[in-house]
Structure 1
Amino acid sequence: MVFYIFNYLFFTLFTVTCIFPFWYLFVNTVSRNDYVQRGIVNFWPKGFNIQNYLALKEVSDLGSAFIISVSRTLIGTALMVIASAFIGYLVTKQEMWHRSFWYRFLVITMYFNAGLIPWYMNFAMLGMTNHYSAYIIPAIVAPYNIILVKTYIESIPAELEESAFIDGASYMMVFRKLIWPLSKPILATIAIFGAVGHWNSFQDSLILMSDSKLFTLQHRLYIYLNQSSNLGTLMDSADSSTAKNAMEQAMNSKVIKYTISMISVIPILCVYPFMQRYFEKGIMLGAVKG
């Protein structure tokens, strides 16, 4: 009984600790801006208002940044899942041409990286800077996800495929009619990995994109974070009138920062509950074998 009490108490506190940052962010976005600026909003909203969310439509380029993030997440994740499933199935076939070589060539990319400068030069020479395809193409082949899919497919009884081949099915038909439906748990798992990676990614936008129309939502949030810091520095060295104007801008920038952060978090938080049952099953079965 004592163990269960401490066990439930510990995990309850742990859960609250994990949830509180998101709750703190939320209550600051629905409180009065002057209360937020003074730092007196902690556990409950004060001076409830939703104007901060309504005001986001006035933020320049935020709409295009949101569309870029959503589209790259949907398209990039879909292509990555399809590629991982197909390649993972191929490398399970012993008759694949030079199977061992291609599989090892794929795995070795997980351990060696050319570095940031060669990475940028490669994109520049391919003409992918300031181009939407830079968000999609490099992430299609994900070695770790392919390994998970391969391991999962190997756990499917071989007799199912053999019976399909006896009935005259081709490799593509077996993949579409048999392997793909049976692999839903692991495909849902890697879809979560891919979606989170695409949604949270901003380094490629920061380095490769100079056109503001191609900025992601995370890149836009990074810009507002920097603006808040710059305004804070300005207030330390300005006269009273300039400092007052800077304070007002900093207050607005801080609230915008919180609100955009909340909007950035909400989509991923909404995805997890629906994918949780697939995630647990897929990650366990996909990691059983080496």
Structure 2
Amino acid sequence: MNILITGCNGQLGNELRLIEDRFGEEYTFFHTDIEELDITDREAVNAYIQDNAIDLIINCAAFTAVDRAEEAQELCEKLNSAAPGYLAAAVEERGGNIIHVSTDYVFSGEGCVPYREDSPTAPQSVYGTTKLAGEERVIRSCAGAVIIRTAWLYSPFGNNFVKTMIRLGKEREELGVVADQIGSPTYAHDLAMAICQMVRHGLVPGVYHFTDEGTTSWYDFTRVIHREAGIRNCRVRPLHTEDYPTPAKRPHYSVLDKTKIKDTYGIDIPWWEDALKDCIERLKD
């Protein structure tokens, strides 16, 4: 099987590259980012998929700058909505399949119980709206498509909340962090391992949710990040959302129910604090 990983230089793409040997010798991997393939170019996508006989796409590419998306709607729509549809249609034509990574931002964030895959969607931002449109295009374009919604992604790669809080904790004596937004952090390594297990099991079409186990707030997340990173001299203050206005509206509650992915694929999901410890140990190396 020939597998294409798009967005290979991002957090999830890099983690997938590190565990490729877990997939087995029967898989051959192709890696692209914008330099190798512009996924917003339908003809380029079709040619690449056909020329390299791609059987499965793991689409990690996306416009993820949530606040910038409010001002860059056209580019966000191209990357998050149109491009996934091009990828799905191209691999469907070859008789292949696609795993498309999506987000908790497709929900309103106004609930108080974990969102199931069939919970009503109601995105509150350009980012969430374009990601939902991308899901819909993928499902329409590829019969066997798998959508994985995740949230609060972090890793040793690129820019993310964990690395930012460690940097600010070392630079400042005091830090204010929002305490009334609740969700579940996701270690990109754990998501990559779950995708590997899904591929080896055999993909079952549909929408799935994946984050690490447990829930927390951004404030509590930061406290644990500082504890595990050995940061002792930075006071972390809890803030209300209205104390920290942003261009894009954040979900107040975006916990995802993972029952379906665990039951379908037999996946054992780590607790978020254990996952964070592993990531921070890697950052120390």
- TM-score w.r.t. length of structure 2: 0.21
Structure number having the greater helix percentage: 1
Whose radius of gyration is greater, 1 or 2?
Answer: 1
| Bigger strand fraction | 2
Greater RCO (Cα-Cα under 8 Å, separation 6 or more): 1
User: Could you state the TM-score of these two structures normalised by the residue count of structure 1?
Assistant: 0.21
